[in-house]
Structure 1
Amino acid sequence: MFKPLIFYIGLRYTRAKRRTRFISFITLTSVLGIALGVTALITVLSVMNGFEAELRERILGMTSHATITGKYGRLDNWRELQPKITQYPHVEAAAPFVDGQVMINSGQRVSGTLLSGILPEYESSVSDVANKMKVGQLSQLVPGEFGVVLGAELASYLGVIVGDKITIITPQVNPTPAGILPRMRRFTVTGIFQVGMYEYDRNLAIIHIDDAAKLFRLGDSVSGLRIKLDDLFNAPKITRAMAADFYDEYRVGDWTQAHSNFFRAIQTEKRVMFIILLLIVAVAAFNIVSTLVMVVTDKRGDIAILKTQGLTSRSVMGIFMVLGTVIGAVGTLCGTIGGVALALNVETIVPAIEKLFQVQFMAADVYYISQLPSKLVWTDVYAIAGMAFFLSLAATIYPAWQASKINPAEVLRYE
């Protein structure tokens, strides 16, 4: 079917003559449609990959890759367990923590908050909170001095700054002559952090682990150990191996379980967006059908003459498949190049547009991420280019088949 003559005739039909300028214009729009669709699909998926990577980095900057906790919410022998955990393959560090829900009061403001007790000398090895401090340092959390580090949004809501006093109220109660009263303690704000995630900036307070143990009456126990791995994507496999070694003595979890719904929602959104944008590519690809139908109608006489000279129906079908394939291939190639170039330079192009038109697409005080992130994944590029080319090739089949069915006797009867 695909002989040099077939390629020559098919490629020749891509060039315009005076009486076929409109057909060539339709061909050009088909190419541009495929190119724009592929460019948009690559760029949008790259931006969504960038958002996912940025959010994952910010979330895992505050949480751990994996955690080990006691079966009943407390870990008694953490000092003996910590060195054993750090000796596991792929484990880089482990740090103890104490977590609990509390109420924080300052003046007339009250807020429910997650209180986290940490060891400052270990915490920097498993989280990035030490690098996200706006004011103060984690090292200023000294046991017995009851200092607290607040998220920026929480501090703003409470109206406090470094040096101010706040009251932390726990769910535990104290029996007193005046009756049952909740446990409470005055703390001094020693620092403020901001990680760029509202969930943490608004709902997290950090104190020294010894102060947390006293506040929650844990003694020398902790809630568990946070673990940092060398490969966060390998966390499920590593945690399963740990759980098997401990024989249900401890509870072992990882970040994919703690944030599974969030990242599953992102993946679902990516799939839906891929399908929606792929439909745009499909519409552009099937413009090839109308283009080839018009070419077949215009070339009926040529086809009839070629058939009388011995060209087979399969060869006629091959001519128009070559024509449609060239249109699809050029459009896919241009779209892929444009999409890759745009995806690699989104972080430069968007600020330039914002500066030129004096607009801001993503306000930092609303979205926290003030720049549009982009992460090009080459497997996505290959999949998009392959599907666009396949759709273009599929669109050529029906018009080419119709061309192969032309009867030379009927066409040349009135010539």
Structure 2
Amino acid sequence: MLTPFERMIASRYLWPGKGEGFIALVAGISVGVVMLSVAMLVLVMSVMGGFRAEMLDKFSGLNGHAIIQAYGGQLDGWENVLDQVRETEGVTSASPLIEQPLLVSFNGRVNAIFVRGNTAEDIADLSDKVLFGDIGAITPGAGKVAIGSRLAANMGARVGDTITVINPQGRTTPFGTTIRQVPYEVGAIFEIGLYDFDETFVIMPMSDAQTLLLLGDTVGLIEVTVTDPDNVGAILADIEAALVGRAQIADWKQINSALFEALEVERVAMFFVLSFMVLVASFNILSSLVMLVRAKTRDIAIMRTMGATRRSLLKIFVTTGTTIGSLGTLAGLVLGFALLYFRNGIVNGIAAATGVEIWDPQVRFLTSLPVRVDPWEIIGITALAIALSFLATLYPALKASNTDPVQVLRYE
């Protein structure tokens, strides 16, 4: 704790007097650099954390946290497997699924798509993603499907239009294999927020998908959602052992391994690089305190002769430098959260000013810039900035405390 005397001297040194404008300038620059470095760390780490969380949420929203995929595309006895999965501890939900790459035609345009057969419950879960139409109209035998917003834009299709789904594996006849071309009415247009999904997915009831793909009563996949996505492998270990030779389990890490590994590496690298900004700011604090000590050498000597201890001088200069770092950290947190709040407006403003699309959904997978603020990361960033600021004060504080008043005042 500081004594009233130490507190008074430290507060005076925080605001250098006349003739010490250069010291004040360096101290101000130190605060500014700490502020910018902390703000950039908060912004970058929150955006990258949000990107990872948003990607995981959207991927799991359609595919769950893991997929049980049958060898050969058909999982015999899938009802028993589904029951076993649902009874597994740690599994929150499991649903049968059909997914097959096909083609779709509309007004002379042909696009590659993924036909996805879902249960009625899974289709109903898309209600909050629907932009146009009625997801409730997508029922077995109704001849209606839901398509992604990007796919609808590419084909020029709207709700009520009829599209033709083309299955090259048709029925065999005496004249050869006939390609199946089945018309469906667009009952709803949805937007998941993942560019690839919105551009390629056509969702229909499972029974309609089984009829289109000539699968009978079988399914090809079972999607699984668990309580702990990071521990999905251990949760499904027993199921995987029981399905050896029949099916394989791919969790979200494996399905999107390249993407999530790249995100993690980039996240660590960005934290490491931006941490050097905080280190540079701490050197600025060190230099400003060194100059302050040199400018106040006579005052320090006088205080020593009046009874100020080395410990008091050490505490005064450590407090001064740490306060500069703390002010910069606090300002950086405020600036960082402000940038996060106005992030989309800033991105749109830069894009409008430069004419360059900064956030391209085709590259970033997501249609908007996501954010996820992790309290522990914020605490870590704050602790890092204040700790480096504190370490930067030690040398000038020791220098000040070791000042010999006899040598300084000899010629005064």
Q: TM-score range by the shorter chain?
A: 0.7 to 0.9
Other structure's SS at 2:19 match: helix
Separation in 2, partners of 1:202, 1:63: 16
Alpha-carbon offset, residue 264 of structure 1:
2.6
Matches for 1:106-185 after TM superposition, within 5 Å: 106-119=106-119, 121-124=120-123, 128-143=125-140, 146-172=143-169, 175-176=172-173, 178-179=175-176, 181=177, 183-185=179-181
Aligned counterpart in structure 1 of residue 256 of structure 2, from 255, 259, 262 = 259
Aligned AA (1:117): G
The answer to whether the 8 A contact 1:346-1:373 is kept is: no
Other structure's SS at 2:248 match: strand
Separation in 1, partners of 2:158, 2:212: 23
Alpha-carbon offset, residue 410 of structure 1:
4.7
Aligned AA (1:342): A
Other structure's SS at 1:222 match: coil
Equivalent residue, structure 2, for 1:393: 390
Equivalent residue, structure 2, for 1:23: 23
Other structure's SS at 1:395 match: helix
Aligned counterpart in structure 2 of residue 335 of structure 1, from 332, 336, 342 = 332
Aligned pairs, number: 406
In structure 2, relative to structure 1, the CA distance for the partners of 1:313 and 1:264 (3 Å cut) is same
For residues 219-246 of structure 1, the C-alpha deviation after alignment (integer angstroms, 9 at most, x for no partner) is 2211021223345455333223432455
Identity of aligned residues (%): 33
Aligned AA (2:295): D
Other structure's SS at 2:179 match: strand
Equivalent residue, structure 2, for 1:346: 341
Equivalent residue, structure 2, for 1:202: 199
The answer to whether the 8 A contact 1:42-1:339 is kept is: no
Equivalent residue, structure 1, for 2:183: 187
Matches for 1:204-219 after TM superposition, within 5 Å: 204-219=201-216
Q: Which moved more, 1:198-207 or 1:401-410?
A: 401-410
The TM-score with structure 2 as length reference comes to 0.81
Unpaired runs of 5+ in structure 1? none
In structure 2, relative to structure 1, the CA distance for the partners of 1:298 and 1:44 (3 Å cut) is same
Other structure's SS at 2:89 match: coil
Equivalent residue, structure 2, for 1:271: 268
Equivalent residue, structure 2, for 1:378: 375
Residues 1:237 and 2:245 aligned together = no
For residues 97-144 of structure 1, the C-alpha deviation after alignment (integer angstroms, 9 at most, x for no partner) is 11112122334322222121223x23247xx43432334444544545
In structure 2, relative to structure 1, the CA distance for the partners of 1:18 and 1:49 (3 Å cut) is same
Alpha-carbon offset, residue 298 of structure 1:
0.9
In structure 2, relative to structure 1, the CA distance for the partners of 1:145 and 1:11 (3 Å cut) is closer
Aligned AA (1:291): S
Other structure's SS at 1:220 match: coil
Separation in 1, partners of 2:225, 2:4: 61
Equivalent residue, structure 2, for 1:297: 294
Equivalent residue, structure 1, for 2:87: 87
Residues 1:321 and 2:290 aligned together = no
For residues 312-358 of structure 1, the C-alpha deviation after alignment (integer angstroms, 9 at most, x for no partner) is 7676555433332232233324434x157537x716x8669989xx9
Alpha-carbon offset, residue 395 of structure 1:
1.6
Separation in 2, partners of 1:281, 1:155: 48
Separation in 2, partners of 1:135, 1:19: 69
Unpaired runs of 5+ in structure 2? none
Alpha-carbon offset, residue 389 of structure 1:
0.9
Separation in 2, partners of 1:306, 1:335: 35
Alpha-carbon offset, residue 187 of structure 1:
1.9
The TM-score with structure 1 as length reference comes to 0.81
Residues 1:63 and 2:63 aligned together = yes
Separation in 1, partners of 2:242, 2:158: 46
Equivalent residue, structure 1, for 2:73: 73
The answer to whether the 8 A contact 1:43-1:342 is kept is: no
RMSD: 3.8
Aligned AA (1:77): G
Other structure's SS at 2:198 match: helix
Other structure's SS at 1:82 match: helix
Alpha-carbon offset, residue 91 of structure 1:
2.9
Aligned AA (2:152): A
Residues 1:224 and 2:241 aligned together = no
In structure 2, relative to structure 1, the CA distance for the partners of 1:116 and 1:26 (3 Å cut) is same
For residues 374-407 of structure 1, the C-alpha deviation after alignment (integer angstroms, 9 at most, x for no partner) is 3321101110111001111222233334445655
Other structure's SS at 1:89 match: coil
The answer to whether the 8 A contact 2:182-2:212 is kept is: no
